Chains A and B, each alone.
Chain A
Amino acid sequence: MRNMKHESLFKLAVIFLGNIILRTEGLSIEFGALKAVNNVSLSIKADKFTAILGPNGAGKTTFFNLVSGLYKPSAGKVFFKDKDVTGYTPQQRIHAGMGRSFQLTNVFPALSAHENVRLSVQSAAKVKFTKLFKSYTRYTDIFEETDRILKRILLHDKADVRAGNLTHGEQRKLELGMVLAQKPEVLLLDEPTAGMSIEEVPIMIDLLKSIKDTGETTIVLIEHKMNMVKALSDVIVVLANGELLCEGDPETVSNDPAVMAAYLGGGVVHVAT
C-alpha cells in the first residue's frame, strides 16, 4: 500500500518534471527460457535525443519490437503520450504518431526509391482504400511531400532507382525517409548506421542531427557503439541481458563502472572515444 503511494507520487513527479512522450512499465518478453526484455521501465522525454545502448543481443531490437507492437509483451505496458497503447495494433501506433525503422534494412526492393517514400506519405495522408478509380499520380500533394523527403534524405537523384539496387547506405537513408514521411511524434530508429561504410556514417549522423534540430520529432535511437551517439545524445539508456542497466547523461553513463563491465563482457570495446 505504502509502496503504491510512493509509486504514484513518483509518477506525478515525473509527469511534472519533464514532458514524457513514451513510457514503458515493467515491459517483458521471454523466448523460451531467454528473458530477452526483462521488466524494463523507461520514460522517454519529448525533445530529448535518447540513445538506447547495449551490446549485441542485449534486447534492444526486441524492446523496439514490443514498443512498436510487432511483439506482444508477456508483461508490462506501453504508454504513448500518457495513453495506454499496449493493446494497439502496429498500424494504430503508427497513426497515433509512433514511427519506427528497422535494423535490417526493410524496404520494398522491387519498387523505386520514390515509390517507397510515396507509399509512406500516402499512408500518412490516410487516402481511403475505396479510392479505386483515381490515379495515384493525381495526388500532387503526396508527390510534393515525397520529393521534399527525398531531398531531405539526399536521395533525390536516385528517386527512380529500384530500392533493391540502391547501395546499403542509400537503403538506410531510404528507410529513414520512409519513417520521416509519417511525421511521427516519436521516431524509433534501430541502428540507422548498421552496416554502413565508414564514409557513409558521418552523412547519416549529420542527417540525424538535422532531424533533431528541427524539433519536430523525438528521436529514440538504438546503437551498440557508444562513440557513435555520445555527441548526439541528451540521454543514454543502457540495456544488458534484457535489463535496464543505467540511464543518464552521456558523461555519467560512459563513466559508469557497471556499463564498462557490461561492454567489456559483451566484447564491444568502443567505449569512450
Chain B
Amino acid sequence: MILQRLDTIRKIEVVIIVALAIVLLIVPHVAGTATVTMVSRIMIFAVFAMSYDILRGYVGVIHLGYALFIGGGAYFVGILFTQFGVGIPMLLLAVVGTSVYSAIWALIVGKISGKSGMIATAMITMAFAEIMRSLMTSWFTVTRGADGLPFRVPPPFNDRTMMFYASFIFMVIMAFLLYKFTKSPTGRVWQAVRENEQRAIFLGYNTNRARTIALLVASVVGGLSGVMFGLLNRFVNTDLLDMQMTINAMLYSLIGGTGTLFGAILGSALVVYFQNLLLDLRGVHFIFERWLLFIGALYIVVVMFMPRGIMGFYYDWKDKRAQKKRLLQEAKLPPQLNDEA
C-alpha cells in the first residue's frame, strides 16, 4: 500500500474543505437559534475530540479521564464568572488557569504512563476524573454540585451568532495547529511511539518526553474546548466531568476515524446531529429517549462497514487508488528499469 501520497492534500480536498467552511459560515444567517447552537456545540466538541485523537490516535495513550479537560475548562469559566464577575479579564484568567490546570494533569499523566503501561494509565486517569468530579460535588457552596452553576457570559459571547463565529474560529485555529503538530517531526515520533514504542526507544527517541508533549498539547487544547463550551452553555455541572464526556470524545473520533484528526470533526457532527434528531423524536415515541441505544447502533453500523472510521475509509480508498495507479505505471516500464540501479 502506498502511503506517501496521503501526506499531500489534493486540490479537490481543498475545494471541499473551503466549500464546507463557506456553508458553515452561512448557517447563522439561515438557521434558527437551536441549529446555530447545535452547530456551535459540534464545532467545540470537534476540537475536544480532535485533541483526544492526538492521544488515542497518534501517540497511543488511552486517557479515560479526558472529561477532566472539558469539565475543567467549563468550571474555570463558571466559577470565575460567578465568584469574581463576568468580563473579558475573567475570561482571560479562565484561559490561563485552564491551560495551567491541563498542563499539570498532562505532566502527571505523562509521568504515570512512562512508568506504568497503557492499561494502568487508562485506569488511573479514569480515577482522576472521578476524584475531580467528587471534589466539584463537595465544593457545593461554589459549584452547586450536580445541580450545576448557571452564569452569564460577557459580550460578544452572549450573542448566539457571535458565539457561533467564535466557535468556528476556535475550531479552525485548533484544527490547523493540531494538524501542524501531527506533521511536525515530533508528530511523526508520536506515531512511532504508538506503533512500536520499544523500536522508537531503540532508534534513540526519548519516548516518555514525546508522549508527555502530546499529553500537554492534547490536554491544553481539550481544556480550552471546555472554556469554549462553558461560554456556549452558560452552565456547568458535574456531568461535564463524567466518564460520559470521555466516551463522547472517544466515540466522535472512532466514528470519524481514529488517527485521522479531521475525522473527529465528522464524527462529532454526525453524533451530535443524530443525538439532537433523537431528542426531537422523543415526542413521537418514548423509545427515542433511549438515545444512547441509537448512538450505539450508529457506532456499530459505522464500524461494521468502515472499521477505520469515515476518514479512515476515505484514506484506504485513496490508498488503493494510488496503488492501482502505481501498478499500472510499473507495468508500462521495461523490466530492467524496475531493477535497482
Contacts and interface: CB of A to CB of B under 8 A. Distances in A.
Nearest to B191: A111
A112 B189 contact: no
Contacts of A131: 184-186
B4 interface: yes
A119 B3 contact: no
Nearest to A109: B195
Contacts of A123: 203-205
A94 B202 contact: yes
A21 to B, nearest CB: 18
B184 A119 contact: no
- The SS class assigned to the B binding surface is helix
Contacts of A95: 204
B184 A134 contact: yes
A106 B196 contact: yes
Interface string A182-206: 1000000000000000000000000
A136 B4 contact: no
Interface residues of B, number: 35
A31 interface: no
Contacts of B199: 102, 106-108
Contacts of A178: 203
B65 to A, nearest CB: 24
Contacts of A224: none
Given A91-B201, A114-B4, A157-B338, A108 B184 contact: no
B257 interface: no
Contact of A122 (B2, B188, B217): B188
Given A91-B201, A91-B204, A157 B340 contact: yes
Interface in A38-71: 68, 70
A90 interface: yes
B134 interface: no
B336 to A, nearest CB: 13
A127 interface: yes
Interface residues on A, range: 35 or more
Interface in A121-172: 122-124, 127, 129-137, 139, 151, 154, 156-157, 159-162, 165
Interface stretch (B149-157, B206-214, B272-280): B206-214
Contact of A119 (B7, B181, B192, B209): B192
B184 to A, nearest CB: 5
A162 B320 CA distance: 12
Contact of B203 (A110, A120, A157): A120
B185 A160 contact: no
B195 A139 contact: no
20 contacts: A90-B201, A91-B201, A94-B202, A102-B202, A106-B196, A106-B202, A108-B199, A109-B195, A111-B191, A130-B186, A131-B184, A132-B180, A132-B186, A132-B187, A132-B213, A132-B217, A133-B184, A160-B4, A161-B3, A162-B1
Interface of A: 68, 70, 90-91, 94-95, 100, 102, 106-112, 114-115, 118-120, 122-124, 127, 129-137, 139, 151, 154, 156-157, 159-162, 165, 178, 182
Interface of B: 1-5, 7, 180-181, 183-189, 191-192, 195-196, 198-206, 209-210, 213, 217, 326, 338, 340
The list of the 5 closest CB pairs from A to B, nearest first, reads: A94-B204, A112-B3, A108-B195, A123-B204, A127-B185
